[in-house]
Structure 1
Amino acid sequence: MQETTQQNDAIDSRFGYTGTDDESPPVEPDHTVNLLLQPRENIPIPEFYFEPTGLHIDVGDTVRFNLPTPHHNVNAYHPGFGFSQRVPDDVPPFSSPVLTQGDYWMYTFDQEGVHDIMCAPHEVFGMVGRIVVGSASGPGSNPVGEAPGGDQARPPEFTAALVLTDPAMNPQNIVDQGSVTWSDIAAESKRPMLTPVQEE
């Protein structure tokens, strides 16, 4: 039992644990989420997404976030980062570094409630996820734009807001279904709201 506790200490409450494909994790994860991208037909911006996009887990479960595609991170919607609070009270502002293809990041979710996450480089393109730990409760269970935060706190915007407000991503639906895949989300909720500037 003591050995397990020491291994779990390797997963920091703010910084998680970062590893590479050729490195064994400090603990076996309870769940796996992949950070992916795929091209869109007739649109230059690909779809950036977590798979599954919504996941229900138990308190104390560890999730391994794999990077089959490069240059993503896992970042909490937390006031410590200037966002409205979409994680439970007492959860620190957790974040992975920006990782490259073949890396993974692990995090143990110790607080019950909704944890909304994003890939910071690709958030505005809709790369957001929702981890419901135990029950669909806490600040993240509030509608987008209604979570706590001061005047300077930014809620999810653009395609991120569309994905998080899609009916499939309703926190109770995630609890009921166990997980929500990217394909469960309506195409209208994935539409890019920003486009690159075209040089003339």
Structure 2
Amino acid sequence: MQQSTDQNDAIDPRFGYIGTDDGSKPVEPDHTINLQIKPRENAPLPEFYFEPTGLTIDVGDTVQFNLATPHHNVNAYHPGFGYTQRVPEGVAPFSSPILAAGDYWLYTFESEGVHDIMCAPHEVFGMVGRIVVGSASGPGANPVGEAPGDERARPPEYTAALVLTDDAMQPDNIVEQGSVSWSDLQKESKRPMLEPVEEE
């Protein structure tokens, strides 16, 4: 559902809109994604993830990202940030600041195609997501490692790459399913590839 132009003006195409539970929203969101941390069984590192992890929306839809747990952000895989391009051509390098638990961030997706996102502090631990806007097209529809970017551009790596290459996260599957939960991913795709330093 597309909001009126006056309402959408409150949501910046690069910086979105930051809100807290004690204020009114400039736009009623069409979808909600929660940013979560969950203890991992028999492992020192928890799981960091978006829920849902994959989502299909319409062009012009607004998504509310809820900070269910603290110290997350929402960041595009964009050359402006030094990454390979995994958002449609012409999309600004959008990002929220790092937010506190209880905050939310609104963003309106105006360009058709795949938008791969991450939480920058937790990307390497697998906190990435994929939003398919209208159709499974554009640079983000390319396999991980094959999206456009110069030799200095970094693709998704470590557990982030595993999550985005999971069969459940294929853009066409997300379109078919409508949304993909973190629990739909294979366990192997969520395995931590980095470990904390152990004290001696």
The aligned residue for residue 31 of structure 2 is: 31
Between the aligned partners of 2:139 and 2:147, the Cα distance in structure 1 is 6
The C-alpha deviation readout for 1:117-144, integer Å capped at 9, x for no partner, is 0000000000000000000000000000
The aligned residue for residue 115 of structure 2 is: 115
- 1:14-163 equivalences under 5 Å are 14-163=14-163
TM-score, normalized by length of structure 1?
0.98
Between the aligned partners of 2:42 and 2:58, the Cα distance in structure 1 is 40
Letter in 2 for 1:6: D
Between the aligned partners of 1:136 and 1:72, the Cα distance in structure 2 is 26
Letter in 2 for 1:75: N
The aligned residue for residue 175 of structure 1 is: 175
Greater alpha carbon shift after TM alignment, 80-89 vs 22-31: 22-31
Unaligned runs of 5+ in 2: none
Letter in 1 for 2:16: G
Identity, in percent, stands at: 79
The aligned residue for residue 4 of structure 2 is: 4
Between the aligned partners of 2:67 and 2:43, the Cα distance in structure 1 is 23
SS in 2 for 1:130: strand
The aligned residue for residue 196 of structure 2 is: 196
Between the aligned partners of 2:24 and 2:54, the Cα distance in structure 1 is 26
**What root-mean-square deviation, in Å, do the aligned CA atoms of Structure 1 and Structure 2 show?**
0.8
Letter in 2 for 1:195: E
Q: Number of paired residues?
A: 198
Letter in 2 for 1:48: F
Tell me how far 1:162 sits from its aligned partner: 0.1
SS in 1 for 2:44: strand
| Structure 1 runs of 4+ with >4 Å offset | none
Between the aligned partners of 1:86 and 1:160, the Cα distance in structure 2 is 13
The C-alpha deviation readout for 1:130-177, integer Å capped at 9, x for no partner, is 000000000000000000000000000000000000000000000000
Between the aligned partners of 2:145 and 2:67, the Cα distance in structure 1 is 29
Tell me how far 1:4 sits from its aligned partner: 3.2
SS in 1 for 2:162: helix
SS in 2 for 1:43: coil
Unaligned runs of 5+ in 1: none
Tell me how far 1:21 sits from its aligned partner: 1.1
SS in 1 for 2:88: coil
The C-alpha deviation readout for 1:19-66, integer Å capped at 9, x for no partner, is 011111101000000000100011111000000000000000000000
Between the aligned partners of 1:133 and 1:180, the Cα distance in structure 2 is 14
TM-score, normalized by length of structure 2?
0.98
Tell me how far 1:188 sits from its aligned partner: 0.3
Between the aligned partners of 2:157 and 2:68, the Cα distance in structure 1 is 26
